[in-house]
A and B are shown apart, each in its own frame.
Chain A
Amino acid sequence: MEVNEQIAIDHGLKKEEFNKICDLLKRTPNITELGIFSAMWNEHCSYKSSRLHLKKLNTKGKKVIQGPGENAGVIDIEDDDAIVFKIESHNHPSFIEPYQGAATGVGGIMRDVFTMGARPIANLNSIHFGSPQHPKTKSLLRGVVKGIGGYGNCMGIPTVGGQTSFDESYNGNILVNAMTLGLVNKNKIFYSKAAGINKPVIYVGSKTGRDGIHGASMASAIFDDKIEEKKPTVQVGDPFTEKLLLEACLELMTGKSIISIQDMGAAGLTSSSIEMASKGNLGIELNLNKVPCREEKMTPYEIMLSESQERMLIVLENEKEEEAKKIFDKWNLDFAVIGKTTDTKKIELFFDNNKVAEIPINILAKNAPVYDRKWKKTKLPQKIKFNKDDFKKLKITGVLKKILSLPNISSKEWIWQQYDHTVMGDTIQKPGTDSGVVRVHGTNKAVATSVDSSAIYCYAHPLTGGKQVVCESWRNLISCGSKPIAITNCLNFGNPEKEKNMGEFVECVEGINEASKFLDYPVVSGNVSFYNETKDKGIKPTPAIGGVGLIKDYKKMITMNLKNNENLILVVGKTEGHLDQSVFAINILNEKKGPPPVVNLFNEKNIGETVLKLIGEELITSAHDVSLGGIITAVSKMAIKGKKGFKLNKLKVLMNKFDYYFGEDQGRYIIEIEPKNLSKVQNILKDNSVHYDDIGFVIENEIIVDKEPILHIDDLIESNTNWLERYMDK
């Protein structure tokens, strides 16, 4: 097939990119080579629009063993244990085929983790759907949840946390971000850098078919009306095969035969072979006739671009092929020597005894295009002057019930009950709380993890939103008693060729970076998903932050359920009553403008560390950070979890009650303490210059707020737990 500019454009390349390819190769590429370029140079693989800005990210820290640039990030959790973790997006495939899109997203991220030698120990996901009134939302939600459960449950990895949100900006572009944590011995980590010349290159796993050809290109294409035609490009996953692959790889990894290993994800054999060779500064030669295929008459183009799932590429030490094959035969998986490393620094492909492609590797990887796209700063919006007379018609308890029943605040139990969250026998904090917590098997330690995003704040002011999301992640880990260590980020944005969207990206990244640096909470891995846009309507900027923290003695973990009558309820951190961009302002007052709450990193750090001190001194009975819905929503959630009531004292501060109870100021925690510990707690807070308010206490089952009508805890439970079930099972 004669390659020309139009064919390149059909492959998702721009005219200038095609010309650059011809210049660098000093000839026109053939169709197989063009396919390889289109995969390696698209946004998803090359990060061409984001690389420049991602370089600025704070990626260093004392506990960082491996930062961005590998299959996943790695952090030290003491005693030679390390956690391997990453979050990744699978947005476009999930919109087209929700079950398989979500399932293969989960499969892909798990492979990224176990390819480094880590047995996965926890999964999380951040999923975002359009408005509940949108006709596609229910079926997308149902399919995505079934897909995540279908894959994760079969693999036997507990899903311990997540986040689900609804917003009309996702109507045409849902987001499905999957995160996995794995446990590894820090001296037995496997990397993807190929080394040595004439080393055998091995293909293991499922056979190759025609799935997902051009999936990576699809990820970077904008959806339009022709979306139904895109169905064949979605990959189909088989979690059973991946479970076998996991066990076989971990078994092979107990020996010393692997030089490097990488999973075949986006752009399949193309990206894995090129990235491995590129990192090792080597060349790679593949004989495509040796690739196990499940379809007949597959062409080199198809073999290189197939995104069939559950496959890995390994560079093995010489003479170790027999030993390795035995293991893969035991687990009934394909094993084939398909090539070798070379010193040519090129990728050379052979098929039917002909050389069918030859490209210098640095052109594809290191010298892939990098764009410095134009971007527009988002000005900090003006603060809204709320008309306090409007508040007079409202009752706090009535507003509270309404807020608890909102789609974005409601309990998501309907979702996470479909995920096995206890397999592997180490889950000590289940989904539905601040963080999921799993024990480090056989030790006294535990790892806490959560995933968070704040699209509404990021849309209002990206720089502040970026900071805020990192702080929220930090607080969620501290609330359960863990010391936050590092984060992974999934940056979901619209079309980077539009200045406003590119500006959102640049400023969110700046915000994330600032917070990450100040809190010593580095970014060790991540993923960028651009072009989340349908017919010119883009999503709200949605950076998702996955955080991981360590609890040294799991018995000291803190839970959020209110526990004992007469215990005091304190708000740690100062409340200014910021209502702009709050759930209260948007949903009750119908005010969508204004700036997000201010983020004061110094306070965030100081207050968080002080809360950890209080936890360390065993002064805290339960804790929960204050986020959406403010103080009263946070206390209510603690009451609902504990099936307890609470009485809030008359406000001691001079502030409108709605500002106080529903304001979403940052850097605050609700803590439940025994009255006998009050003075010790007060001393520690004072010594660390941390403001607090003593707002009330725990009672048996009523909700008493100053002069408001009294509610029963069952009223709050009813408001909070029924929305999703009624919506989905109607």
Chain B
Amino acid sequence: MKSSVIIFPGSNCDRDMDVALKKFGFKNQMVWHNDPEIPKSDLIVLPGGFAYGDYLRCGSIAAKSKIIKSVIDFANSGGLVIGICNGFQILIETGLLPGALLTNRYLKFICKNVFVKLNKDESKYFKNIKKDILELHIAHNDGNYFCSKDELKSLEDNNQIAVNYCGQNGELTDEFNPNGSINNIAGIFNKNKNIIGMMPHPERMIDKSLSSDDGNFFFENLIQNLK
């Protein structure tokens, strides 16, 4: 299975993603934002970081970069695209995913472990996943998901809500919402569920020494479903 991780000026979780993808058997290539096209891939990943310094709005300038057309074409033809953290922000700015990511409600960067509940229905990402409440890690300043009432209804009707912040036992209450996101939303799919954007970093949780290896479920399941 071939994957491509796109590097923008200011991306800084690209190496972490490369390590994780390779660990689980992906043949991964790093792709520069100025390259004319993306090599043949089964999966494209937009990693975390501060692409273009988060200038104007997070992800806004990266969303206009040269390589994005290839990403959009790939996504529109059903290809799998993952956006983690800054990658999620970029996918939103391209319009591939609906809504907006605002500044965290307490106006502080927040770096900590969180529990998340995954939507196991339908998608290639989470279908058959062995564990649907994972301990993952967040590190962001602007992860507060927002969308209009109509957009939210549409997301719910089409089963597009992919990941929610929750308690250790799956409780979906405000107590476990780290940044003020509507309905504890931590990640969403597009209508076809081939694109996922999420704020938590599974690639930082692939080793027991790193406090949790729940991220393993994410990657193992993905490559299993792709095969």
Residue of B nearest to A153 (CB): B109
In the complex with contacts A423-B139, A425-B210, A428-B210, A332-B15 CB distance below 8 A:
no
Near B by CB (< 8 A), chain A positions 410-450 give 416-428, 430, 439
In the complex with contacts A243-B50, A417-B112, A424-B16, A554-B209 CB distance below 8 A:
yes
Q: In whole angstroms, how far apart are the Cα atoms of A579 and B179 in the complex? A: 45
Residue of A nearest to B207 (CB): A425
B49 vs chain A, min Cβ distance (A): 6
Inter-subunit contact A244/B109 (CB<8 Å): no
Inter-subunit contact B204/A244 (CB<8 Å): no
B52 vs chain A, min Cβ distance (A): 7
Q: In whole angstroms, how far apart are the Cα atoms of A425 and B211 in the complex? A: 11
Encode contact with A along B11-51: 1 for CB under 8 Å, 0 otherwise. 01101100110000000000000100000000000001110
Residue of B nearest to A418 (CB): B109
Residue of B nearest to A426 (CB): B210
A555 vs chain B, min Cβ distance (A): 7
Encode contact with B along A385-428: 1 for CB under 8 Å, 0 otherwise. 00000000000000000000000000000001111111111111
**Contact residues of B: prevailing secondary structure:** mixed
Inter-subunit contact B19/A422 (CB<8 Å): no
Q: In whole angstroms, how far apart are the Cα atoms of A423 and B85 in the complex? A: 12
| Best-buried of A146, A154, A416, A554 by chain B (most CB within 10 Å) | A154
Residue of A nearest to B51 (CB): A240
Among the listed A149, A155, A416, A428, which residue makes an inter-chain contact with B12, where contact means beta carbons less than 8 Å apart?
A155
Whether B203 sits at the interface, judged by CB under 8 Å, is yes
Number of interface residues of B (CB under 8 A): 33
Inter-subunit contact B53/A240 (CB<8 Å): yes
Residue of A nearest to B18 (CB): A425
| Best-buried of A153, A244, A419 by chain B (most CB within 10 Å) | A153
B134 vs chain A, min Cβ distance (A): 16
Q: In whole angstroms, how far apart are the Cα atoms of A199 and B110 in the complex? A: 47
Inter-subunit contact B10/A154 (CB<8 Å): yes
Whether A238 sits at the interface, judged by CB under 8 Å, is yes
Inter-subunit contact B52/A422 (CB<8 Å): no
Inter-subunit contact B209/A425 (CB<8 Å): no
Whether A292 sits at the interface, judged by CB under 8 Å, is no
Inter-subunit contact B9/A332 (CB<8 Å): yes
A223 vs chain B, min Cβ distance (A): 29
Inter-subunit contact B50/A422 (CB<8 Å): no
- Which residues does chain B contribute within 8 Å of A331, judged by CB atoms? 9
Inter-subunit contact B210/A427 (CB<8 Å): yes
A585 vs chain B, min Cβ distance (A): 36
- Which residues does chain B contribute within 8 Å of A244, judged by CB atoms? 9-10
Inter-subunit contact B209/A439 (CB<8 Å): yes
Inter-subunit contact A425/B50 (CB<8 Å): no
Whether B108 sits at the interface, judged by CB under 8 Å, is yes
Inter-subunit contact B111/A417 (CB<8 Å): yes
A133 vs chain B, min Cβ distance (A): 23
Whether B193 sits at the interface, judged by CB under 8 Å, is no
Among the listed A240, A439, A555, which residue makes an inter-chain contact with B10, where contact means beta carbons less than 8 Å apart?
A240
- Which residues does chain B contribute within 8 Å of A422, judged by CB atoms? 111, 137, 139, 201, 204, 210
- Which residues does chain B contribute within 8 Å of A420, judged by CB atoms? 109, 111, 139
Chain A interface residues (CB < 8 Å from chain B): 146, 149-150, 153-156, 238-241, 243-244, 330-332, 416-428, 430, 439, 554-555, 729
| Selected A-B contacts with CB under 8 Å, 16 pairs | A154-B53, A155-B12, A238-B53, A240-B10, A240-B50, A416-B111, A418-B108, A420-B111, A421-B111, A423-B12, A424-B15, A425-B15, A425-B16, A425-B20, A425-B204, A729-B106
